[in-house]
Amino acid sequence: MKSESMKFTVKSVLVDDPKKLIPLIGGNVQLVTAECIEEVIFAALLAIRAFKRGTNHAKTYGGELLLRLAGTNQIKVAIEKNGVKRGLNYLICFETPEQCSKFLLKTGLVEVTPPKCNKENLKALMEKSALVETL
C-alpha cells in the first residue's frame, strides 16, 4: 500500500448484476452505493488518512472506504448498507486511474454523470464517515 501520496479515482456507474461483480472487487478496487459522489470522495480521503495514521479498521483501502461510508467498524454491516447493488454505484480505484479504465472495459459497466449532494444532507453524511475514527 502506498503512503501519503495515495491517489484515487471515483466514477459513477450503472450496475445491472451485482453478483457478477462481487468476485472482481476488493482491495484497491471497490464498488459502493451512496447518496452522492461527494460522500464517496470524503470517505475515500478519510480511508487514506486512516492508513497513513495507522488508525484503519480494515485491511484494505476498499474495506476502510466501506466502513467510512456506513459509519460503522463492522464490515458485514458496511457491505449490507453500502456494498454494490443494482442501479447507481461508485467505482473507486485507489492508486491509478488506469485501474478504473481496465475495470470498466473488463466488466462492461457504463459510466454516468453523478448526482450532486443536497447541501443540507452533505454535512450529516460527512459526519457519519468521520465518526468511524471514534469507534
CATH number at residue 95: 3.30.2380.10
Domain count along the chain: 1
Looking at per-residue pLDDT, the higher value among 56 and 123 belongs to 56
pLDDT tens column, 7-17: 899 999 999 99
d(CA 24, CA 89): 15
Q: Given this model, what pLDDT does residue 92 score? A: 97
d(CA 66, CA 36): 14
Identify whether 1 is part of a domain: no
pLDDT tens column, 108-135: 999 999 988 888 887 787 788 887 776 6
Identify whether 96 is part of a domain: yes
Identify whether 14 is part of a domain: yes
Coil/strand/helix, residue 3? coil
Identify whether 109 is part of a domain: yes
Domain extent for 33? 8-134
Identify whether 33 is part of a domain: yes
Identify whether 2 is part of a domain: no
**Given a cut of 50, is residue 94 above it in pLDDT?**
yes
Find the farthest-apart pair of alpha carbons in the chain and give their distance in angstroms, rounded. Answer: 39
> Could you tell me the end-to-end alpha-carbon distance of the chain, in angstroms, rounded to an integer?
23
Identify whether 46 is part of a domain: yes
At 41, list the grid cell. 470522495
Residue of 80, 85, 89 whose CA lies nearest to 17: 85
